[in-house]
C-alpha cells in the first residue's frame, strides 16, 4: 500500500513519531491509517490501553479485540466521509467514541479516534431516570388519594395503580387492627381465597414478615405449595411488602414465575413505602372527618352531621316518597343531677346514656347528641306508629339502667321524648324540628318520663 503523504515536523522538534501535538488533548486520542495501522496516540490513550506509546505506534488497531465494533464503524465512516459516533464499555468504563475521517492526500484517508469518558454522565443519567421513575410512581399513587373524596374508592384506585406499576394482576392489602389483620381491598382472587384471608389464613406470615423487618419477603414455591388455599388458586409467586411502622402488608401474587432482581426489589420497596404514606394520609383524613362529625364527650354524631343527614333524608323522601321520623329526647331533671353530684358525674351519665342509645337503636338510625342533655335520633323509612314503639323501647332501657357515679353512687334517670314525622308533620327541616320540640315540651308538661307525638301547634 502506498504511504499517504503527510507533512512531517520540522527538524529540531521532538521526535516522538506523532503528526499532531496530541498530548495537549486530555481525552484518549489515536490516529490511524485507513488500513488500521496506528500512526500516533497521546499519553491518555497509552494509559487507557495499558501500553507504552512507542509500543502502540505501528500496531494495527484491528488487533485489539475490544475495538472490533469500532473498526466496522470506522470503515463505514471512511465510506461515508463523515463523522461517526459509537458507545463502548472498556475496563468497566463507558466511552463515547468519535471517529473522524480526514483526507491525507487525494488517495488516502486517515482516522482520528477520540475516546470521551462518559461513565459519570451515564451514572447521573441513570440516577435521574431512576428519580424520574420514582416521581412518576409517587404521582400516580398519590393521585388515587387526591382525586377521590370517597375513602373506599381511593383505596380501590390505589390498589389498581399498584398492580399497574408493578405489572401484577393479583394483589391484596391487609391492615393491622389490634392483633389481627383486616383485608381492605383485593384484586384478581377468588371468593374462596378472600374468605380464607379474612379468616386469618395469612396472619402468621404477616406477623413473621413484620418481625423480620426486611423491605419485602418472598414466599417461595415450596412454602406456597404447603398452603392449599394458595395452591388451589394457582399462585406460584407471592411477595409480601411490609408497610412502614408495621401498619400492615401489601401482597402481590402471580400465577406465573417472576424474575427477581435488585431493580424489582427497589420498585416494590418504593411502592410499599409510598403506599404506607398514603394509608397514613387516609387514616388521618378519616380521623379528621370523624372528629368533625363526632361529639367529643359521648362519641355520638354531632349537630353538624345531624343537619347534613336531615337534608339527605328530606331529599330521599321528596324523591321516593318514603317517610321518616325524628325523636327528640331530653333527660329529666338533669340540672338537679348536676347540682347534687357535680358536672363530672353528669358527664359520666351522658356517656353511659350514649352507649344505651347506640345499643338499643337500629343500625340504620342516626343517633346524635343535640346539645347539653338533649339527644335526637333520625329514623329512616319509619312511620310515626313504629317510631313510638322504638322510642318507648329506648326510654324503658334508660329507665331500667342503674347509673354508677364516681364508681360508687348508684342512681336511675328518666327521659322525655317528642316525635315528629316528615312529611306528615312538617314540610321542611326547620318546621320538623319545631314539631319535635313541641311534642317534647308537651311530654315534659304531661309529667315527664313519657314520649308523645306531635299533634299540632297547640
pLDDT tens column, 307-345: 999 999 999 999 999 999 999 999 999 999 999 989 999
Highest mean pLDDT among 20-29, 136-145, 408-417: 408-417
Q: Is the same domain home to 128 and 113?
A: no
Q: Is residue 142 part of a domain?
A: yes
Q: Is the same domain home to 36 and 158?
A: no
Residue 200 pLDDT greater than 60, yes or no: yes
CA 142 – CA 161 distance, rounded (Å): 10
Total Cβ atoms within 10 A of residue 369: 24
CA triple 26-27-30, angle to 5 deg:
115
Q: Is the same domain home to 243 and 275?
A: yes
Q: Is residue 159 part of a domain?
A: yes
Question: What cell does 85 get?
Answer: 459516533
Q: Is the same domain home to 323 and 383?
A: yes
Q: Quick: pLDDT tens for 60-72.
A: 888 887 787 888 8
Residue 398 pLDDT greater than 80, yes or no: yes
Q: Is the same domain home to 278 and 129?
A: yes
Question: What cell does 82 get?
Answer: 463523515
CA triple 432-435-440, angle to 5 deg:
130
Considering only 255-264, 322-331, 445-454, which range has the smallest mean pLDDT?
255-264
Which residue range is the domain that position 352 belongs to? 303-453
Residue 346 pLDDT greater than 70, yes or no: yes
Phi-psi region of 87 (alpha: psi -120 to 50; beta: other; left: phi over 0): beta
CATH number at residue 78: 3.30.450.20
Phi-psi region of 173 (alpha: psi -120 to 50; beta: other; left: phi over 0): beta
Report DSSP state, residue 236.
-
CA 226 – CA 224 distance, rounded (Å): 5
CA 100 – CA 85 distance, rounded (Å): 9
With a CB cutoff of 8 Å and minimum separation 6, the contacts of 283 are none
pLDDT for residue 192:
94
Q: Is residue 366 part of a domain?
A: yes
Looking at the whole model, is its pTM more than 0.75? no
Q: Is residue 3 part of a domain?
A: no
Looking at the DSSP bridge assignments, the partners of residue 128 are: none
CA 99 – CA 96 distance, rounded (Å): 10
CATH number at residue 196: 3.30.450.40
Q: Is residue 16 part of a domain?
A: no
Amino acid at each position: 500500500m502506498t504511504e499517504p503523504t503527510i507533512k512531517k515536523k520540522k527538524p529540531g522538534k521532538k521526535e516522538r513519531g506523532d503528526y499532531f501535538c496530541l498530548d495537549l488533548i486530555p481525552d484518549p486520542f489515536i490516529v490511524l491509517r485507513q488500513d488500521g495501522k496506528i500512526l500516533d496516540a497521546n499519553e491518555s490513550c497509552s494509559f487507557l490501553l495499558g501500553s507504552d506509546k512507542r509500543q502502540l505506534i505501528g500496531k494495527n488497531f484491528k488487533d485489539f479485540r475490544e475495538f472490533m465494533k469500532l473498526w466496522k464503524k470506522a470503515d463505514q465512516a471512511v465510506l461515508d466521509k463523515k463523522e461517526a459516533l459509537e458507545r463502548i464499555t472498556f475496563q468497566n468504563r463507558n466511552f463515547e467514541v468519535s471517529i473522524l475521517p480526514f483526507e491525507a492526500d487525494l488517495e488516502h484517508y486517515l482516522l482520528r479516534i477520540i475516546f470521551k469518558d462518559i461513565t459519570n454522565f451515564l451514572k447521573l443519567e441513570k440516577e435521574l431516570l431512576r428519580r424520574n421513575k420514582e416521581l412518576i410512581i409517587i404521582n400516580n399513587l398519590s393521585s388515587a388519594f387526591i382525586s377521590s373524596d370517597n375513602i373506599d374508592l381511593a383505596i380501590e384506585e390505589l390498589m389498581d395503580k399498584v398492580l399497574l406499576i408493578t405489572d401484577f394482576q393479583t394483589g391484596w392489602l391487609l391492615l393491622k387492627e389490634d392483633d389481627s389483620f383486616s383485608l381492605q381491598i383485593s384484586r384478581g382472587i377468588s371468593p374462596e381465597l378472600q374468605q380464607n384471608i379474612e379468616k386469618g389464613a395469612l396472619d402468621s406470615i404477616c406477623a413473621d414478615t413484620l418481625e423480620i423487618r426486611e423491605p419485602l419477603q418472598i414466599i417461595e414455591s415450596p412454602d406456597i405449595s404447603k398452603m392449599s388455599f394458595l395452591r388451589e388458586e394457582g399462585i406460584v409467586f407471592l411477595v409480601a411488602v411490609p408497610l412502614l411502622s408495621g401498619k400492615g402488608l401489601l401482597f402481590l401474587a402471580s400465577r406465573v414465575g417472576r424474575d427477581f432482581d435488585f431493580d424489582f426489589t427497589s420498585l416494590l420497596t418504593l411502592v410499599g413505602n409510598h403506599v404506607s404514606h398514603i394509608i397514613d394520609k387516609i387514616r388521618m383524613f378519616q380521623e379528621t372527618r370523624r372528629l368533625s362529625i363526632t361529639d367529643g364527650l359521648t362519641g355520638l354524631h354531632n349537630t353538624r352531621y345531624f343537619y347534613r343527614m336531615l337534608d339527605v333524608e328530606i331529599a330521599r323522601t321528596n324523591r321516593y316518597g318514603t317517610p321518616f321520623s325524628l325523636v327528640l329526647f331530653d333527660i329529666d331533671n338533669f340540672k338537679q343531677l348536676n347540682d347534687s353530684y357535680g358536672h363530672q358525674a353528669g358527664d359520666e351519665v351522658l356517656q353511659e346514656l350514649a352507649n344505651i342509645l347506640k345499643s338499643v337503636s337500629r343500625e340504620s338510625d342516626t343517633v346524635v347528641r343535640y346539645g347539653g342533655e338533649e339527644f335526637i335520633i333520625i329514623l329512616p323509612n319509619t312511620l310515626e306508629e313504629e317510631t313510638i314503639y322504638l322510642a318507648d323501647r329506648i326510654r324503658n332501657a334508660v329507665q331500667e339502667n342503674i347509673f354508677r357515679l364516681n364508681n360508687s353512687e348508684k342512681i336511675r334517670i328518666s327521659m322525655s321524648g317528642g316525635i315528629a314525622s316528615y312529611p306528615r308533620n312538617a314540610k321542611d327541616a326547620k318546621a320538623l324540628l319545631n314539631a319535635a320540640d313541641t311534642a317534647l315540651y308537651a311530654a315534659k308538661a304531661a309529667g315527664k318520663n313519657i314520649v308523645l307525638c306531635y299533634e299540632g301547634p297547640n
